[in-house]
Amino acid sequence: MSNVTADLSDLEGWTAAMAKKPALLRREIANTMTSAAMLSAATAIDAAPRDLGILVTGIVAMPGRWIGDSVKSAFVSTAPYSRIVEEGRGPIVAKKGKFLRFYSKKHGKVIYRRSVGPAAPRPFMARGRDWAQRNLRAMLQAKVRKVLASR
């Protein structure tokens, strides 16, 4: 899971907007956080390895929610192996007297091995997090200005 969080306290006009229209501002900020999570998820989908279709279809954005004085949103990959793809893994060795069993679609048969080498990381969620870190502040600042300009 990749959390999208923002510090709102030092945004220009934040205090004035909260005093003027707190309900509207809270709703707009939550919506902006949801949009940021969706755009981050789209960035992660674009960066995901194309040979992992289930991985790509399992990336979803969670809506922005206020928890006390902070608002949080997230985008997650629901595929059970997404963490291994993102972070990589070390070598796997079968226990003594056992084998690792794989089905090869390419060869159409079962393959047995005593060990397999490490898998390099293929970070696709990190690109979505990077996008959020670069763009979230500007998105939130625009919403604060919009609330201040509204009547």
pLDDT digits (tens, 9 = 90+) for 32-63: 889 988 998 888 888 877 766 777 788 888 88
**Within a domain: 68:** yes
Cβ neighbours around 151 below 10 Å, total: 3
Number of H helices, E strands in the chain: 5, 7
For residue 101, tell me if it sits in a domain. no
114 to 89, 94, 96, 100, 105: CA distances (angstroms): 17, 5, 9, 6, 20
Overall number of domains in the chain: 1
Please check whether residue 104 lies inside any domain of the structure. Answer: no
Residue 29 lies in a domain: yes
Residue 128 belongs to what domain range? 2-88+120-149
Residue 106 in domain: no
Phi, psi (degrees; rounded to nearest 5) at 57:
-70, -15
**CB-CB contact of 40 with 61 (8 Å):** yes
133 within a domain of the structure (yes/no): yes
Could you tell me if residue 93 is inside a domain?
A: no
- How far apart, in Å, do the first and last CA atoms of the chain sit? 38
Given a contact cutoff of 8 angstroms between Cβ atoms, the answer to whether 44 and 75 are in contact is yes
Task: Kindly list the averaged pLDDT for each block of 10 residues, start to end, along the chain of length 151.
Answer: 66 74 85 90 82 78 83 86 88 93 89 93 86 86 82 66
Quick one: pLDDT at residue 114? 94
Residue 100 belongs to a domain:
no
Indicate the burial class of 137 (C-beta count within 10 angstroms; 0-12, 13-18, 19 or more). middle
Please tell me the pTM assigned to this model: 0.73
